[in-house]
Amino acid sequence: MKAPLFEFPSYQYEIDDWEFKKKGLLNRINKSKYIRTNLQTFETDRQTNNKNYIHYLEEFLRPELLKFCQEAKVNFQMTDAWCVRYYKGDHQIVHNHRGWGFSGILYVEFDPNIHTPTCFVAPWQDPIIDSTSLAFPQNVKEGTLFIAPSFTHHFVHPNTGEERRVVIAFDLLPNLPNHQSINSFRECDNINLS
Ligand SMILES: [Fe+2]
């Protein structure tokens, strides 16, 4: 029988009352300043939004983030959030966000008949055929929220459609117990230094 030692902890939710909430969200993200650098094959407000989505998104996603915290059995803090827009031909190369914590993708403007969800690279090699496995989240549509470990490599295939593909990405870090907390370490550090 199978006796798995590890699991890949990814989570998927649908935002309640999406059509209503989408209007408010678009209103907000459309006011952002988007830039496209030489290294970016997409446009984003990551460098310009001064992390001002964080409190808004935490409220916006509260029911789904609460479910996630319950399922993952730990509390999290959102540390960054940004919007990415992919026009025709835009894509994103393989990358990850950091070595710990989780990252989320909220699909805001997404046509399942044209666009593809973010593609994830399995963190381990397939032991039978010795190849790298790729996987998409299933049944993704506007209002889908997908959360996976931040260390997972992922990428976005080129947008072949005329309609843009818009997502909001964000990072979540677990709240560590006091003895492991970076803040408490800093407090101790300050005490020692003073
Ligand atoms: Fe990413």
* Cα 49 from Cα 47, distance rounded (Å): 6
Question: What's the pLDDT at 50?
Answer: 87
Domain assignments of the chain as residue spans, ordered by start: 11-176
Given this model, what pLDDT does residue 179 score?
64
Distance (angstroms) between ligand 1 centre and the Cα of 103 equals 8
How far apart are the CA of 1 and the centre of ligand 1, in A?
Answer: 36
Alpha carbon of 146 to ligand 1 centroid (Å): 12
Cα 46 to averaged position of ligand 1 atoms, centre (Å): 11
Global pTM reads 0.90
CA of 179 to the centre of ligand 1 (A): 30
Rounded distance between C-alpha atoms, residue 79 and residue 154, angstroms: 19
Ligand 1 center from residue 5 Cα (angstroms):
27
Q: Where does 61-114 have alpha helices with state H? A: 62-72
pLDDT given for residue 38 in this prediction: 86
- The tokens describing 91, both together, are 């894509």
**Residue pair 98/65 in contact by the 8 Å Cβ criterion:** no
Task: Tell me, in angstroms, the distance from the centre of ligand 1 to residue 157's CA.
Answer: 12
Residue ranges, the chain, pLDDT below 70: 178-194
C-alpha of residue 100 to centroid of ligand 1, in Å: 14
For residues 20-30, b (16+ Cβ closer than 10 Å) or e, as one string? Answer: eeeeebeebbe
With a CB cutoff of 8 Å and minimum separation 6, the contacts of 130 are: none
- For the domain 11-176, what is the CATH superfamily, name and number? q2cbj1_9rhob like domain (2.60.120.620)
